[in-house]
Chain A
Amino acid sequence: MSKAIEADGLKKSYGDVRALGGLSFSVEQGTVFGLLGPNGAGKSTTVKVLTTLARPDEGRASVAGHDVLREPGEVRRSIGVVAQRSGVDRDLTGRENVKLQGHLQGMRGRELDRRVDELLEQLGLSDAAGRVARTYSGGMQRRLDIAIGLVHRPRVLFLDEPTTGLDPEVRAAMWQEIGRLKDDEGLTILLTTHYMEEADQLASRVAIVDRGRVVAEGSPAELKASLRGEAVHVELDGANVNGNVHAALEGVPGLGEVLVEGRALHARADDGARAVPAVLAALDAHSIPVASVTLARPSLDDVYLRYAGRSFAEADKKEDNE
């Protein structure tokens, strides 16, 4: 089976800032592929290159069998894009927005009208179709974005952070819609997200992106299974000295991958039930007070921690500040 998306060694810098540092992955047809990473990891830049908006400095990529640099027109005919920033024209009605996009995709006349009505119906926008998009709620605008992306029946759909900034309820509805698109329409979907649960829920394969490179790839289950044992998270009470904690935990059997970020201590244990008392005893022996301890099966959060060498929340915070 040929690949719906292939990215090979993509590099791109903006001035001194390196956005992509040799990023590669491929996506099977008819699957949902998740690009997971914190803000600034290079996910949006990857989407811009694959959708022909931006040119890579190096590397090559193809979408739906067409090279993004040599056949941009063919790529644009094959793809639908729901960008991170909504592309809705707020001064046009919902119907006018979708119709204009269909026109620019080469659709005309009754075929276009029928498709527009069908999509507005499917996405629950029929009643609002005659209102200017300025009056839409955030969730409605996002659904209009999806209608715009789908009007010409693309083979590959790009969803760049589709649920960022949406209420939890609206997000759940959006997840359902994305699942339906994959099942009913046989679309290949590239989803970028910085929500672990979103990738976990929707994607059959996930690539974890950090600082412009793919650091791990596999199905969510594979990625989690690649971590042995259980994740131990300890919240320390008050100030601590990094070296102290490491020294304290050195002797605890079956404990590894210790990482301290501020007051949060992450580690992995072969056998959690045995490790926790030992960890607490070791910390106590070094007079390091503890506020809480949790033990969990590895989540994609832990996968990120393992491969990127820092916790997801921390990376997200850092990139936001930059």
Chain B
Amino acid sequence: MTALSDSWALTVRDLLRLWRQPWFIAIVLVQPVIWLLLFGELFQRVVEIPGFEGGDYKQYLVPGVLVMTAFFSSGWNGMSTIEDLERGVTDRLLMTPARRWPLIVGRLGQNAVQVLIQSLVIIGMALAIGVSFEGGVLGVIMLVLAALLLGTAFAALSNALALVARQEESLIGAVTFLQLPLTFLSTAFMQESLIPNWVATVADYNPVNWAIVAGREAVQSGTDWASVAGYCGLLAAFALACTVLATRAFRAYQNSV
């Protein structure tokens, strides 16, 4: 109980910090809308490629943009940890009786709230431009859940890296190195039947693609719920493993002080 309550107190702390950066909030909210509108316009004739199923590219794109947004913003979650390390806040927290995992989970809580709000903005925007969610409310919930699980996993990895590398430059390098390849080695923008075989094979092992496939399956008509549940289970296991790894990373940090 204490540990859960500590996690929540730390989530509130991170949300307060976020709330006090209005420009950051503006960017976080506007950027996904830009992705959706820009890619929707840029690639609108993709549907004319022979073999592309479905008539509207925006319809196809929404789950991909939603998951990509969660993936992109979560990758930066460790930046707060680096700031805490530099400011001596991490040391102070480690010298309290609080357990180690709430220090990570608290941060993941803030990330989840951020991803949730971004997702709602994208869904609202999608509805506004005429996208329909055939899978109904449950479908939308599963899409957001997939994005949240993926975001949690990469936010935890980002924190693990922050505690091990302890340098802004290293984290920025690693995140930018991973973001685009993992996004494009997926079915975010192109149907599986139309991408090269090797990309499809890699995508099968790419957690970003797991979330996109699950989310897209959930919001289309005739959803295969077993497949959605299977991918969400995989994502949950991945997120848990990353969280354990991040908690362990405190040990690596403490060995260095």
Contacts and interface: CB of A to CB of B under 8 A. Distances in A.
Interface stretch (A51-59, A264-272, A312-320): A51-59
B87 A53 contact: no
Interface string B80-110: 0000100111011111111000000000000
B95 A51 contact: yes
A53 B17 contact: no
A53 B21 CA distance: 31
A29 to B, nearest CB: 21
Contact of B254 (A54, A91, A105): A54
B87 A85 contact: yes
A101 B9 CA distance: 10
B257 A89 contact: no
A104 B97 contact: yes
Contacts of A48: 257
Given A76-B96, A83-B88, A89-B13, 19 more contacts: A53-B254, A53-B257, A76-B95, A81-B92, A85-B87, A85-B91, A87-B92, A88-B87, A89-B84, A91-B20, A92-B16, A92-B17, A96-B13, A100-B10, A101-B96, A103-B5, A103-B9, A104-B6, A104-B9
A73 B97 CA distance: 5
Nearest to A87: B92
A52 B257 contact: no
Contacts of B84: 89
B2 interface: yes
A106 interface: yes
Interface string B56-88: 000000000000000000000000000010011
By secondary structure, the A interface counts as: loop
Contact of B89 (A52, A89, A105, A106): A89
B255 interface: yes
Interface of A: 48, 51-55, 73, 76-77, 79, 81, 83, 85-92, 96, 100-101, 103-106, 132, 148
B13 A100 contact: yes
B89 A83 contact: no
A76 B97 contact: yes
A49 to B, nearest CB: 10
A85 B87 CA distance: 7
B13 A83 contact: no
Interface residues of B, number: 25
Interface of B: 2, 5-6, 9-10, 13, 16-17, 20-21, 84, 87-89, 91-98, 254-255, 257
B92 A148 contact: yes
A132 B17 CA distance: 10
B97 A106 contact: yes
A69 B213 CA distance: 48
Contacts of A91: 16-17, 20-21
Given A55-B255, A76-B95, A106 B2 contact: yes
Given A53-B254, A103-B5, A83 B91 contact: yes
Contacts of B2: 106
Contacts of B89: 87-89
Contacts of B10: 100
Contacts of B94: 53
A89 B86 CA distance: 11
28 contacts: A51-B95, A53-B94, A53-B254, A53-B257, A54-B254, A55-B255, A76-B95, A77-B97, A79-B95, A83-B88, A83-B91, A85-B88, A86-B87, A87-B88, A87-B92, A88-B87, A89-B13, A89-B87, A91-B16, A91-B17, A91-B21, A92-B13, A92-B17, A96-B13, A100-B10, A104-B96, A105-B97, A148-B92
Contacts of B254: 53-55
A85 B2 CA distance: 28
B87 A90 contact: yes
A51 B10 CA distance: 22
A284 B49 CA distance: 101
A77 B98 CA distance: 10
